[in-house]
Amino acid sequence: MRKPYTLFVPGPVEIPPRAIKELSKPLLYHREEKFSRLLSETINYLRLLFFTRGKVFILTASGTGAMEACVQNLVSRYDRTLVISYGVFGERWKELLWRYGAYVDEVAYPYGKSPPLAEIERKIRTNDEIKFIFTTLTETSTGMVANIKGIGEIAKREGKILVVDAICGLGADEFYMDKWNVDVVCGASQKALASPPGISFLAINEKAWEAVEKAKSPRFYFDLRNYERFLTNYQTPYTPAILTLYAFHYSLKRVLSQGVKKLWREHKERASLFRAQLGDVEYLPDSPSNALTVIKMPEGKESTKIIKEIKERYKILLSDGQKTLKGKIIRVGHMGNLKKAQLLKVAAILKRYL
C-alpha cells in the first residue's frame, strides 16, 4: 500500500525498508533463549548509545511512559523537585510530578529560550530540600537543545539527581550520560533512531538506583525493581512488543555500526543544509537542535493553513505548533530515512509560503 505522504515531522519518522522488514519476522515466545539474546544485545546497544555503564530498561510504552516510569520509580509523595522547562515537554515533567504528589519548583523560560545556568544554580541553592532535577535535552515543541552538560555540573556539585528526557534528541544531538553527570535518562524508538514507535527505554546509574529502592510511590507495570529481577535472565516481566523490538534492535545495530558520533554529524549536516536553503526566515529557538527546525510565521501567515496545503499539494507532512504555538510555527523534522535532496525540496517549497 502506497503511503499518502512523506513524514517530515519530529516523530514518528520515515523508517528504512530493512527495519520495516524486521516487523514481518516469525514471532518469538518471550521466554525463549533466543528472545533473551535479542533483549541482551539491545540493552548493550543502548548502553553504547547513552555512553553509560548504568542499568538499562526497555519498556513497551511511548516516550511518555518512560517519563512516567522515571517519576514513579524515583519520587515519593511530598518530595521536593525542580523542573527546568522551556516548552511543552518540560511542562509534562511538571504535570507528572504533580500527579504523584511531589512538590514542584520551576525554572520556566519562554518557549524556545534557554535559562541561564546561574539562574538554575541560584534556584537550587535557595531550597536545599530539592532532591531531583527534571529537564529535557531537546524540546520537541520548540526545537531547542539544552545545555545538559552545564546543568549536570550543577547537579553534581549540589548533590542532586538529574533526570533528562532525551526522547527527541537522542541520536541527533550530542549527549553523554556518564560524562555529563546525568543520573537518569529516557528515550524512545521513533525519533532519530528511525524505528517504529512503541518502545521506550531508560538508563539509570547507581546513585539514582538507591532512590528507586527507597521510593514509596505505588508501582506496578513500570516497577523497575521487577524489571531488574527479570533481567537476571534477560527477560521482561510482561509480554513485550516482540516484532517492534526486532526492528529496534536492527536500527540500533545500524546506528552503532557507523558510530553514534557519525549519526550526530549527519543530523547536524541535515539541519545546516536545510536552514541554509531556507535562507532569511525567523527561527524560534535560541539554541536550535539538529533534530528539527522550527520556523516562526511572518506577520499575517498561519502555519495550520500552510501545512494543510503542502500536505494536499505535495504529499509532504510537516508539523504545527502545540498549545499556544499552534498556528504560529512550522516544525520540520530532519530525522529518519530521508535524503538531503528531499530536505532541499521541502525547504524550496516552504520558501514559497513564507
The CATH code of the domain that includes 153 is 3.40.640.10
Burial, 217: exposed, middle or buried (Cβ in 10 Å; 0-12, 13-18, 19+)? middle
Q: CB–CB of 243/25 below 8 Å?
A: yes
pLDDT in the model for residue 4: 85
Binding-site residues = 331
Same domain? For 206 and 62 the reply is yes
Q: Which of 201, 232, 256 is the last residue of a domain?
A: 256
Same domain? For 232 and 330 the reply is no
Same domain? For 104 and 149 the reply is yes
Residue ranges making up the domain that contains 307 = 6-12+259-353
- What is the arithmetic mean of pLDDT over 258-262? 97
Place of cell 503542502: 310
> At 83, which amino acid appears?
V
Q: Would the pLDDT of 123 be above 80? A: yes
Sorted by sequence, the CB contacts under 8 Å of residue 81 that are 6+ apart come out as 75, 97, 102, 103, 104, 105, 130, 131, 132, 133, 134
Same domain? For 196 and 81 the reply is yes
Q: Which of 256, 289, 313 is the last residue of a domain?
A: 256
Round to whole Å and give the CA distance between 270 and 250: 23
Same domain? For 163 and 26 the reply is yes
Residues of the chain with pLDDT > 90, as a percent, come to: 96
- What is the arithmetic mean of pLDDT over 264-284? 95
Phi/psi region, residue 236 (left: phi>0; alpha: psi -120 to 50; beta: rest), is: beta
Same domain? For 90 and 203 the reply is yes
Sorted by sequence, the CB contacts under 8 Å of residue 217 that are 6+ apart come out as 71, 72, 73, 75, 76, 77, 100, 101
The DSSP code for 146 is -
Residue 146 backbone dihedrals phi, psi, to 5 degrees: -95, 165
Q: Reduce the DSSP state of residue 40 to 3 states and report it.
A: helix
Q: How many domains does the chain have?
A: 2
Largest CA distance in the chain: 61
The average confidence (pLDDT) of the chain is 97
Residue 274 CB neighbour total at 10 angstroms: 21
Burial, 111: exposed, middle or buried (Cβ in 10 Å; 0-12, 13-18, 19+)? buried
- What is the arithmetic mean of pLDDT over 285-292? 96
Under the banding of pLDDT at 50, 70 and 90, the label for residue 34 is very high
Binding-site residues for substrate = 331
Same domain? For 245 and 264 the reply is no
Same domain? For 130 and 212 the reply is yes
Angle among Cα 224, 61, 155 to the nearest 5 degrees reads 55
Q: Please report, for the domain that includes residue 319, its CATH number.
A: 3.90.1150.10
- What is the arithmetic mean of pLDDT over 305-321? 97
Q: Which of 229, 256, 283 is the last residue of a domain?
A: 256
Same domain? For 184 and 263 the reply is no
CA 24 → CA 27, 115, 244, 245, distances in Å? 8, 46, 10, 12
Cell of 29: 515466545
Under the banding of pLDDT at 50, 70 and 90, the label for residue 3 is confident
Same domain? For 166 and 245 the reply is yes
Tell me the HSE value of 323 on the side-chain side, using a 13 A CA sphere. 9
Same domain? For 190 and 282 the reply is no
pLDDT in the model for residue 1: 55
Burial, 175: exposed, middle or buried (Cβ in 10 Å; 0-12, 13-18, 19+)? buried
Cell of 248: 529496534
Same domain? For 150 and 68 the reply is yes
Q: Could you tell me if residue 1 is inside a domain?
A: no
